[in-house]
């Protein structure tokens, strides 16, 4: 099977079987939000089997601008735990999971939807449960099922927790591999594209040494129509030069567009000191620990 290693979450089409690798919850929720948002916009049914509590999953989607409440009320959006669906009595069998997927494929047609998107968190495979050795077999069988139907599937794998051999094996069973478009990444800092709402995300610590990468990320974000979010919820330090660059980028945006800065309290306080209140395009939002 040929695997496209450069796919973006916004590029996925019907019948894609995508392997999403993520390194932190914020990245997982952002990429999944983009997958869900686009599916709902296209009139598809969307099912998310999550390792988080389903209520939290829906809350994370709503906080990223996805209209989950009306979709859930209409039966178009379903969030559920893996237990009781692909897992049965804390055990996994490929046959049981494929049977569950087959039921979802039959249900969306019966309910009048034109297609189906399934997001599936595979973190259950890290638990000490029976049958985990059937994971590769399940992915292979799912790939065969999706090749001829209006169904796409996004499988979540934590690249920090799954071993490299397993990741390589499961990736080969997918049509494409999806990660966030990354502008900078090392042990201290990560700058990547954010998909829902559109913008960029910064995590770790940033100073003048990453100015060039930050400038490229901001330039790409500004080119997108609509408002821009600079998500710094996981940022612990930012120096004055990088703050000025973000503020100046916001100044360059027309009055009809906004730049939302999502920051923890300490970072928000630093931005307040540099006068963001005097920039009409900026909305400063303080994000508390969740």
In CATH, what number does 4-178 get?
A: 3.40.50.300
pLDDT digits (tens, 9 = 90+) for 200-252: 999 999 999 999 999 999 999 998 888 999 999 999 999 999 999 999 999 88
Predicted TM-score (pTM) of the model is 0.86
Supply the pLDDT for residue 5: 44
Does residue 275 register a pLDDT over 90? no
pLDDT digits (tens, 9 = 90+) for 11-52: 898 889 999 999 888 899 999 999 999 999 999 999 999 988
Does residue 147 register a pLDDT over 80? no
What average pLDDT does this structure show over 262-272?
Answer: 93
Question: How is the chain split into domains, by residue range?
Answer: 4-178, 182-286
Does residue 254 register a pLDDT over 60? yes
For 237, counting Cβ atoms within 10 Å of its Cβ (0-12 exposed, 13-18 middle, 19+ buried), the class is: middle
Supply the pLDDT for residue 3: 38
Does residue 4 register a pLDDT over 80? no
CA distance 204 to 220: 21
Residues counted in the chain: 290
Supply the pLDDT for residue 1: 41
Quick check: 72 and 142 in contact, CB under 8 A? Answer: no
Quick check: 215 and 184 in contact, CB under 8 A? Answer: no
Supply the pLDDT for residue 15: 86
**Nearest partner of 119 among 24, 199, 196, 51, judged by Cα:** 51
Supply the pLDDT for residue 290: 53
CA distance 31 to 113: 23
pLDDT digits (tens, 9 = 90+) for 172-196: 999 999 988 899 999 999 999 999 9
CA–CA distance from 235 to each of 191, 196, 202, 203, 213 (Å)?
A: 10, 18, 6, 4, 16
Question: Which has the minimum average pLDDT: 66-80, 207-221, 256-270?
Answer: 256-270
Supply the pLDDT for residue 13: 85
CA distance 150 to 116: 7
In CATH, what number does 182-286 get?
A: 3.30.750.24
In the chain, the N- to C-terminal Cα span, in Å, equals 40
| 117 sits in which H/E element | strand 116-121
Supply the pLDDT for residue 289: 62
**How is residue 83 annotated by DSSP?**
B
What average pLDDT does this structure show over 52-81?
Answer: 94
**What is residue 210's three-state secondary structure?**
helix
């Amino acid at each position: 099977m040929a695997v496209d290693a450069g796919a973006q979450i916004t590029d996925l089409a019907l019948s894609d079987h995508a392997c999403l690798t993520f390194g932190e919850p914020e990245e997982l929720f952002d990429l999944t939000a983009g997958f869900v948002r686009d599916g709902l916009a296209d009139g598809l049914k969307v099912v998310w089997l999550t390792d988080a509590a389903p209520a939290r999953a829906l809350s994370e989607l709503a906080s990223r601008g996805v209209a989950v409440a009306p979709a859930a009320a209409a039966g178009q959006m379903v969030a559920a735990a893996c237990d009781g669906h692909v897992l049965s009595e804390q055990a996994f069998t490929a046959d049981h999971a494929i049977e569950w997927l087959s039921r979802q494929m039959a249900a969306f047609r019966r309910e009048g939807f034109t297609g189906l998107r399934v997001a599936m968190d595979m973190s259950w495979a890290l638990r000490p449960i029976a049958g985990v050795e059937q994971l590769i077999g399940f992915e292979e069988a799912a790939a065969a099922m999706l090749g001829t139907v209006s169904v796409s599937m996004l499988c979540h794998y934590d690249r920090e927790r799954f071993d490299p051999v397993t990741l390589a094996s499961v990736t080969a069973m997918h049509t494409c591999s999806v990660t966030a478009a990354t502008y900078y990444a090392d042990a201290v800092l990560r700058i990547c594209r954010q998909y829902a709402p559109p913008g960029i995300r910064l995590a770790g610590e940033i100073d003048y040494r990453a100015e060039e990468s930050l400038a490229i990320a901001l330039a790409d974000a500004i080119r997108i129509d609509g408002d821009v979010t600079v998500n710094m919820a996981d940022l612990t330090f930012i120096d004055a030069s990088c703050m000025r660059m973000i503020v100046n980028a916001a100044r360059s945006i027309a009055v009809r567009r906004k730049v939302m800065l999502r920051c923890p309290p300490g970072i928000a306080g630093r931005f307040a000191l540099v006068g963001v209140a005097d920039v009409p395009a900026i909305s400063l939002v303080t994000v508390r620990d969740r």
